[in-house]
Chain A
């Protein structure tokens, strides 16, 4: 019984971090129609910013917002310098739907080598600011610690505020409109280019937080090739796809489903099948619903 409960808790913690990455992907997808594979690279870079701040100030709590802002700045620069050019140059042609994907893959490699140049390939450590020892319940230790509790709450707050921005504010309306039809939005007086940059910045900020939380939640080591960031890259995107790339709620839902299923496989079947389970889960869900769990009716192709 206690094992099932613990598995659920582990699944929810992991899933909530994936959900932040997934939301970042959805934000970029909905504002620019680009699947951003560089997201994990941006998150990693922001986490290194956070690491530097910890080295200077010694506090995780100062580093967290800095990583968030750093992520937003990096994302806006990328959008301004590369994505705008890309949209201008290769929005038509035979492989127009594929070029953005390839470009962000290139960005991922670029960011990784920049990190490798400045910080080297050796491991760095971020010490978890709160205790990572689980609460005890009678004689049993639960798989939830003050740190994990903080992670879940922080992500809940972020997800709710991002959803609020997206669904209830003028900025959110502008974001949705400019993804739906840039031409019409421009005519309606929306500064589409600026709105796109803001969409990227929001996603970058979310990625920065996800990176900081993921590092503190896991082993605490930070390196350009760290497994944790491959997980963020792969599972964040898989979660977004499972949920349906157009929906914020879908992203959270997809991430939680993914986190829970993976946690159960990890506990009851074995670690080496975790990755292929993610693939099978994705396959099953997409076979039933080719547009993800929460997908719009066909016909909307903005």
Chain B
């Protein structure tokens, strides 16, 4: 029975593999095809060999993790050393093809007058008259020389000849057409009256890897993702290419990039520290109050105070943005009524930061409260009794018993909370969007941007075009810092030892 189920399962899997393989073959994605076949072989091996039994359980999870986490990380490293971004999106091959297809008018070849016809199916036919009076029949990109009185010309009489008004209306359609005159030259519409001869502007030499401008004779050579003339003129578009550590050095040495980057970096650290400090101190304070067995309504307080944590953060952040609204928000209305003036919450760099910290306090204190309550309850009461006998004050008890014992269990959570807030994109993005902007920055950066929102804007939102290369370089900086923090945390909690022992 089990064998049958396995057989059917593997059979279905293989049908899917074969179907996908055929599809990949027909779309000429050979590299992916090879990878797929290797994968299929691996799957079959793992499911047939008894020795590979445990791997059957790991395959699905491993597949998704490698494809969607490991590969993107590796790819991020790769992109960070390239110039990938607006202006350098295409590969070198694509750029060469595109440049070679660029044509210029050959003025000496003269003008071709034309008459256009439309057949019953809506297709266009042309009769061109060259500068020497030669006749050419044009259809579907091809030209056929014809003589006066040719039967093929006579057929055109059955079609509708386009009058001048029709030509004007069909200008877009006609100007998109081209007819091959010979291997290199084409006839293209020049204006409503004439077609002209167009010839290629550039010629690429594969041996020398350079591009020759056929008209001026200037030679362009590939430099850092562009074809560049000796005088420094660049042809656009550029292509994507490995440019080494250029992006990283730009972060550290280009004043218009470095200044904002350092400011964003410092605020990111401040933000993460402030978030942990405020949520933890309030959470701990409330936990100590609520842990008091003599307090009435404990359960009520506890279940109400936990509520902010149950609301999805993206909704809370948007709600708070309404509360902080400078002209209409309730907070400013209350301030206006009591102290006589509101606060430019989201316009002023400092107040925007204050608003963020208040919002994150609201979002985060319940978590700290729950965690601290749990930790407090696990502290042995006898400790306090002993301290009392020795005459310790409440503060001394807190300082020397509660806090150290609490830190053992809560410490690692504080560190993960730090790295969570270090990358807390939604709160920043939804409340301030990183605004107000830093004046004079070359890259889109704001006073409340943290590294991750800065990366996001570099990659997806810049009005001046996107820069995947630079964005990936910043991402690697974040990786490095988050990684270091978490590694430290693992040492702290002994997670690494757990792996080591768990042979």
- Our verdict on whether A and B bind, yes or no, reads no
- Chain B interfacial positions (CB closer than 8 Å to A): none
Chain A residues with CB under 8 Å of chain B are none
